[in-house]
Structure 1
Amino acid sequence: MRLPVWVRLTLAALVAAGAGLIVLDRLFPPPIEIARSVIVTDSGGQALRAFPVEDGRWRLPVETSRVDPAFIETLIAMEDQRFYAHTGVDPLAVIRAATTSLASGRIVSGASTLTMQTARLLEPRPRNLGSKIIEAWRALQLEARLSKDEILELYLTLAPYGGNIEGVRAASWAWFGREPDRLTPDQIALLVALPQSPEVRRPDLRPDHAHLSRRRVLDRMASAGLIAPDRAVEAADAPIPERSAFPALAWHAADEAVRRADGEAEIRTTLDYSLQTELEAYVRERAAEAGEDVQIAVLVVETDTRAVRAAIGSASRQRGGGWIDLTDRPRSPGSTLKPFIYGLAFDDGVATPDTVIADAPRRFASYRPENFDRAFNGDVTIAAALQHSLNVPAVYALDSVGARRFASALRFAGAEARVPVGGEDEAGLAIALGGVGLTVREVATLYAALGDGGEARPLRWLESAPLAEAPDGRIMSAQSAGDILQVLRDAPHPGGRMPASLTRGAPQIAFKTGTSYGFRDAWAAGVSGGLTVVVWVGRADGQPRPGETGRSAALPLLFDIFDRAAPIDPRRRRAWGTDDTPRTGAAPAPLVRFNPGAQPPDILFPPDAGEIWSEGPDRDFVLSARAETSVRWFADGVALSRNGAGDTVWAPRAPGFYTLTAVDREGRTSHATVRVRMPPA
């Protein structure tokens, strides 16, 4: 049957209109991508700092699952009862609004759904009929692209709450100082009322209007059965809140987290909210006591995971240089590198903690170091030299290790030692006394490696960042690291503190202090109980503070911080002191005295890898070696005797390969492998 012309034309028009709408929808999609404020939280999700979007507006991202369900229920009941039923435009609401307006001769109520309001917030326009039509179209587009919860989250992110506050989460922080996950009836009513006339009802500017509008919403809530009438009356008498500050903890660490997170709206760091809060207050007090423009930088790192649990870039932004993150600025580390010099010397097999080293005037080419007190102590053990931070022994040890090699070891471990341009090995010996630039973060990386068996890994700032599967480098062996830690645990404690070994439950801290040239930087770094702590005290402009040393200015803070950090995460931390490993006995004979320049015996006869001819098993050979001391000889591990002339003789009994060993009195050893040939029997 052929359809009438008018029917066919109508259908064609409908198809063309539908196709046109589809084309328009594709050509002009709704602008649903919006900028949101970044929230930086601690490891448990507690907000630390928020960042505004453009024009200084606070627009925090919202998830309906993290908003009090009672608020959402009230919002929908007051603003759009059929929100989950309509497709963006509610025909029943349009008919109701038109009927009541015609009957009254004026607009009594609107027909805007929450979806249409969201469209208006995305694209603000003058309030007229043309704008309403566009909003209705945009609402249909939103419904076609987003779920109901996504539309609701978009509305709750954009809803105006007066001034530069947008969204329910930002409003909850601004007016109540916390997340909107648990709200009281008076708070729910205020948050529902404000978007209707945000400037007229602002609690900070017009508290009377805010009080009246909140009471009206409470009355409507009671009428709708959302709240008991007596509870509504009680909530109406609650005081109108004042404006609260947005979270602004961990100022510098939050900047670092944003830099590392690469565009995430909510960034979860490894920081611990309670510890960060406590240490920020503590550091402000100590900086105020220390004097004008004195700054303090602190890092607390979980040694095994490298998670940064607290980070303070400066004591206060109201002090000179306070806006600078001083954990990330190179400063002279003073003597904090000495443990790593000795650790490499231990690895080289030239020393142990009990090796005796000379603390006496000594010149290294043009460089002549002195101790801090300009006195010398004669022969001391390396343990004592480290514990008392003696300069000459440290430079002597670095001369053995090699300054360039040491700088390379630091670099491979993640600490970019900034050596003066053109420095040679001799000039580089000043590294031992702080003649390089390192940041607090790099010093923390080194000491965390010391506490983790010598393995260096990068610090972790984000919870999502995994622990590096392989270490960046090994600064020293596990054995040497354990020896160094024990030496540092035995160092003299700061004044006013009883040694931890005499105090029940006290942390056994392996610590080292440092003071830069001219008293510009005071350092203390320590490892204990699964934590690594680094403290820097000084002025951001590098001005000297005469008489302020690492021991006097930074070490007391280090011990106080360990006291405060002890309970932060007991499930993931070792108990205080359980990582103690006592040092064993005296140094072995070859390492009794530090003398890395001494050479082992030089075997003259028999030559290594040579052949000798023996006429038979009765033929003796006189062994010869050039050495600084007398030498004992061994053939395949069997000691050989001397003849009447004092020479050591060897009579090989059969042809074949033999190993001859020469050992001097200091235990230095050389070997020669030879082949003995004999005539046939």
Structure 2
Amino acid sequence: MSSTKKKLLIALSAVAVLAAALRLSPVPGLKDFLDCRYSIPLYSAQNELIAVLPLEDGLRRQHLSVEDLSRDQISTVLQSEDRRFYFHPGFDLLSLIRATWQYARSGEIQSGGSTITMQLSGLMEPDRQGIPGKIYEIFNSLRLELRLSKGEILELYLNHLPFGSNVEGLQSAARYFLGKEAGELNREEILVLMMIPRRPEDFNPLKNPAANRDAVERTIPRIKGDISSEYLDRIYGGLENRDTAWPSSYNHFTNMVREKLTEEQWRRGAPLYTTLDQEMQKGAESYLRDILEQTDKNRISNGAVLVIDNRTGGILSYIGSADFHNDELNGQIDGVRILRQPGSTLKPFLYGKAIESGFGPSTPLPDIPMEFGSREIYIPENYNERYNGPVRLSVALGSSLNVPAVYLLERVGVMPFLEKLVNAGFDSLSNSENLGVGLALGNGEVSLWELVQGFSLFNREGNFIPLRFDNDRPVPEGRSVYRSEVARLIRAILSDNRNRILGFGRNNPLEVGFDAAFKTGTSNQFNNIWALGSTDDLTVGVWMGNFSGDTVIGSPGSSYPAQIVVSLLRDFHKADAFSGADNFIHRQICPLSGDLAGPHCPYSIDQFFPVDQVPGSCSWHTADGTVLPAEYGRWASIYHQDFLIAPTAEGVKISQPGDGALFYLDPTLPDDSQAIAVRILGRYEVSLYINDIEVTRQQAPFTWFEKVKRGALVLRAEGGGEIDRATVIVK
């Protein structure tokens, strides 16, 4: 081998080794650029831009793919910045020589010698300045060219160009300075924008349009083809009237979306098409604003609204407060997601659990003075401070009576009910074992999000699906919370105005001309007032109150939020009737006992039943008169009701607590101040034993309050030769 060939081989080997070293050596800053986050544009269900989510420091940097730009647009960029981009290895020797010569002659920089690749290197490591920095850029550009394709380099460059004003990248710059998408830019607009990164403050067209135009005019000679002065005049003349750069009409919604985005979504920066319906959102905002004008006398200053699509769980309207920008009213607090006491709005879930446990729609429930053991004897009252005696289950739920609800919760158990609520999406109650029977009346704290999400399952055959905001993602898989017949029964009860008459009167605002289920609620002192409503296709929830904690004046009830719910359902529901067959059968029943009407019942009403829950004939109305069960004796005496009271069928019965009941001590209260109410029914004088110790002997019926400690309580009642037993556990 000749010496010349050897030298050539050595040179080629050296070049190959150098190329391999350059390719394999890490490029400082490249990984950060490749893995960086991008601002995410959000679009409504009508495909209108509603927000461009900023990054943590407020920076807007939207992702732009070079495939979204036309050849003419790319050509304009390259002619402006690096016309031999596709032909050099990262640095342009001719441009460097020209720039050096011009600088040597004039002592001033007259043209840049940096290629797009070198500029990208400079963006990755902005601290390297002067001639050493330029040399490093050349070296680094070689490494970039060996690592990335020309298209990848150009895309990274266009996405990280600094435009000042907390804006990076051509896409965000087009939106901020011209109110356009990058793909919509003409050649003149691209030139206007490409001048800014050279000197962002000096060439900002909004602040210094003349300087920007001067830079454009000096660049035009390098651009092939015509650049229209008329177009440039239009651009500079229209800057003040450009579209809003960053829409911000739905701040609570967009903040919620921001918190739920994944890291992968931030890194892709792809547009997100949401489920938000702008027409429905505007309607909800208008109705909330109108109602709040009426509530000033009650010192109610704020509200939140959530509307969803029952089929998909998609969020259609989301209002976290009446005015996001009102600091005096704490407008930035999100009323959809903060936790508040829900009042009676949890009752549908309790009654669903009771129906699963064997109660029927006409089962009579006691609406009578009742006592439940705790630190102080818990005596629930109805909001109207009236007791109605025996009330059918459907009426007790429809009229939102308190005592029957607490009675039911004591029967089904707090823990089984809590488990049902958590399964229905009430995650805020997942560690609330110590709430006690007050849970029936809403002494826990939940969010409007959870209430609407849960209430919608009654229009979905009892199936739960989580709420969603991303229209491009499939509907999430659900899970069964209630049997379909139970969900349909709750829906039917809450949509029948006859069930509401006892509590709300015949002409209440929830009487509408289409199938719709409603539930309202208030917390103590009316500080939180709620309304829920659903048709076949929509569920609406409204909360009203004050974020400040100011007490409400008067007793406004839930009519205010109910008006918003009704208005939205009237305007936007599509289905007048509930879908799916109810598979109920109708029978004439006695309105007092809830059983099938018998020969002695003075009148009857129509009642629907699941096929397997039809009761027997009425035994309360007899030839001798109306005979109520023994538990109603005290109520009949207090309220002077002319009824006969039946003796207890059993000689001795422990009617409360139920055998196997589970109780939890409240950790916030002293153990020795908590008690369980033991209710004894019977015809005899009865001895009550607890853990084989006689604690009292009285004439039945009576109630004994037993102070408790953790462990098992074995109850035994003896009288007249009869015995009844029950065992409860206290944790």
TM-score normalised by L of structure 2? 0.69
Change (3 A) 1:300 1:54: closer
In the other structure, the counterpart of 2:260 is 260
Change (3 A) 1:54 1:410: closer
| CA deviation vs aligned residue, 1:44-68 (integer Å, no higher than 9, x gap) | 6755444444654332322234457
In the other structure, the counterpart of 2:344 is 335
In the other structure, the counterpart of 2:278 is 274
Change (3 A) 1:287 1:154: farther
SS of 2:83 mapped into structure 1: coil
SS of 1:590 mapped into structure 2: coil
CA distance in 2, matches of 1:226, 1:591: 95
CA distance in 1, matches of 2:401, 2:416: 22
CA distance in 1, matches of 2:442, 2:104: 85
Contact 1:176 1:244 in 2 (8 A): no
Q: Quote how far apart the aligned CAs of 1:522 are.
A: 1.1
In the other structure, the counterpart of 1:190 is 192
In the alignment, structure 1 residue 514 sits paired with structure 2 residue 521 = yes
1:600-611 mapped onto 2 (5 Å cutoff): none
Amino acid at match of 2:465: R
CA distance in 1, matches of 2:205, 2:234: 19
In the other structure, the counterpart of 2:63 is 61
In the alignment, structure 1 residue 38 sits paired with structure 2 residue 39 = yes
In the other structure, the counterpart of 2:306 is 299
Change (3 A) 1:294 1:214: farther
SS of 2:521 mapped into structure 1: strand
Q: Quote how far apart the aligned CAs of 1:168 are.
A: 1.5
In the other structure, the counterpart of 2:642 is none
Change (3 A) 1:335 1:356: same
| CA deviation vs aligned residue, 1:487-526 (integer Å, no higher than 9, x gap) | 222346998969432xxxxx63312111011112111112
CA distance in 2, matches of 1:420, 1:20: 63
In the alignment, structure 1 residue 488 sits paired with structure 2 residue 494 = yes
Contact 2:38 2:60 in 1 (8 A): yes
Contact 2:306 2:540 in 1 (8 A): yes
CA distance in 1, matches of 2:190, 2:101: 31
In the alignment, structure 1 residue 88 sits paired with structure 2 residue 83 = no
Change (3 A) 1:154 1:145: same
CA distance in 2, matches of 1:145, 1:259: 35
In the other structure, the counterpart of 2:586 is 585
Paired residues, number: 581
1:26-425 mapped onto 2 (5 Å cutoff): 26-32=24-30, 33-34=32-33, 35-39=36-40, 41-42=42-43, 47-53=49-55, 55-67=57-69, 71-94=73-96, 97=99, 107-125=109-127, 128-183=130-185, 187-213=189-215, 224-227=224-227, 231=231, 235=235, 237-239=237-239, 244=244, 246-263=246-263, 264-265=265-266, 266=269, 268=272, 270-272=274-276, 274-275=278-279, 278=282, 281-282=285-286, 285=289, 289=293, 290-291=295-296, 294-317=301-324, 318-319=326-327, 320-352=329-361, 354-365=362-373, 366-416=377-427, 418=429, 423=434
Contact 1:215 1:236 in 2 (8 A): no
| CA deviation vs aligned residue, 1:631-673 (integer Å, no higher than 9, x gap) | xxxxxxxxxxxxxxxxxxxxxxxxxxxxxxxxxxxxxxxxxxx
Change (3 A) 1:144 1:562: farther
Contact 2:535 2:578 in 1 (8 A): no
Q: CA RMSD in A?
A: 4.0
In the other structure, the counterpart of 1:640 is none
Change (3 A) 1:74 1:283: farther
Amino acid at match of 1:500: V
CA distance in 2, matches of 1:207, 1:143: 36
CA distance in 2, matches of 1:500, 1:284: 20
Q: Quote how far apart the aligned CAs of 1:75 are.
A: 1.6
CA distance in 1, matches of 2:550, 2:616: 46
Contact 2:29 2:124 in 1 (8 A): yes
Q: Quote how far apart the aligned CAs of 1:541 are.
A: 4.0
| CA deviation vs aligned residue, 1:58-107 (integer Å, no higher than 9, x gap) | 32322234457654332223222232333322344445556766787865
Change (3 A) 1:215 1:479: farther
Contact 1:341 1:406 in 2 (8 A): yes
Q: Quote how far apart the aligned CAs of 1:199 are.
A: 0.8
CA distance in 2, matches of 1:227, 1:260: 45
Amino acid at match of 1:278: K
Contact 1:88 1:142 in 2 (8 A): yes
Contact 1:30 1:142 in 2 (8 A): no
Change (3 A) 1:100 1:28: same
Indicate the larger mover: 45-54 or 98-107: 98-107
Change (3 A) 1:553 1:234: closer
Amino acid at match of 2:275: L
Contact 2:51 2:247 in 1 (8 A): yes
Q: Quote how far apart the aligned CAs of 1:10 are.
A: 7.1
Change (3 A) 1:100 1:450: same
In the other structure, the counterpart of 1:643 is none
Contact 1:204 1:243 in 2 (8 A): no
Indicate the larger mover: 383-392 or 88-97: 88-97
1:555-566 mapped onto 2 (5 Å cutoff): 555-563=562-570, 565-566=572-573
Mind listing any 5+ residue stretches in structure 2 that lack a counterpart? Answer: 588-606, 608-613, 621-627, 632-645, 652-681, 683-731
Contact 2:22 2:142 in 1 (8 A): no
Change (3 A) 1:548 1:208: farther
Amino acid at match of 2:527: R
Change (3 A) 1:562 1:178: farther
CA distance in 2, matches of 1:462, 1:545: 37
Identity of aligned residues (%): 30
CA distance in 2, matches of 1:280, 1:167: 36
CA distance in 2, matches of 1:131, 1:453: 68
Which of these residues, 553, 556, 560, is aligned with residue 546 of structure 1? Answer: 553
Which of these residues, 517, 525, 534, is aligned with residue 527 of structure 1? Answer: 534
| CA deviation vs aligned residue, 1:346-392 (integer Å, no higher than 9, x gap) | 2233221x444453433445332211111234454433332222222
Contact 2:509 2:562 in 1 (8 A): no
Change (3 A) 1:525 1:600: farther
Contact 2:40 2:54 in 1 (8 A): no
Q: Quote how far apart the aligned CAs of 1:194 are.
A: 1.7
SS of 2:40 mapped into structure 1: strand
Mind listing any 5+ residue stretches in structure 1 that lack a counterpart? Answer: 502-506, 567-573, 603-627, 629-681
SS of 1:328 mapped into structure 2: coil
TM-score normalised by L of structure 1? 0.74
SS of 2:616 mapped into structure 1: helix
SS of 1:36 mapped into structure 2: coil
Contact 2:188 2:228 in 1 (8 A): no
Change (3 A) 1:205 1:548: farther
